[in-house]
Amino acid sequence: MERIPILKLGNCLIAPIQVDMDDSTAIALQEELTQQIVKHRAKGVLIDISSLDVVDSFIGRMLANTAAMARVLDADTVVVGMQPSVAITLVELGLSLKGVRSALNVEKGMELLRRADEEPAAEPANADDEK
């Protein structure tokens, strides 16, 4: 079984999925991510799927479940880099990944996580936090 590395950057975790995962690898990643969220008190999780040329219902469900678990553990999740052909296929398959935030690439994904982390603190006084 392959193992997906999890990198820590500030208070975020990054999981770059570089291999075609079998189901047990996907489940292992989900468990590992939830453990690392608690261990590092991470506020954000970024899952890079730009190397995946297939996302079927099992991997789709793993992504949705991971986002839900992270939410319960007070962390935001963003899935980045989905290939257009994968997006077309996923929707036709019947999966819309509701509840999973997405971004086009790692940079935009990190930006999204940073904003999500700052939002509650910035809300009361600052009106110019959108810039």
Partner 1 sequence: MQTTKSELVPVVGGAEVVRVRHAVRKAAVDLGFSLVEQTKIVTAASELARNMVDYGGGGTVTIEALADGARKGLRLIFEDQGPGIADVQQALRDGFTTGSGMGLGLGGARRLANEFEISSAPGEGTRVAITRWKGIV
Q: Which of 38, 41, 7, 16 is nearest to 105 (CA)?
A: 16
Sequence length of the chain is 131
Considering the complex, state which of residue 29 and residue 90 has its C-beta at the smaller distance from partner 1.
90
Considering the complex, state which of residue 56 and residue 107 has its C-beta at the smaller distance from partner 1.
56
CB 30 within 8 A of CB 62: yes
Q: Does 94 bind partner 1 (CB under 8 A)?
A: yes
Q: Does 22 bind partner 1 (CB under 8 A)?
A: yes
SS3 47: strand
Chosen residue from 35, 38, 39, 53 binding partner 1 by CB under 8 A? 53
Chosen residue from 85, 96, 105, 126 binding partner 1 by CB under 8 A? 85
Q: How far apart are CA 12 and CA 46, in angstroms?
A: 7
Q: Does 68 bind partner 1 (CB under 8 A)?
A: no
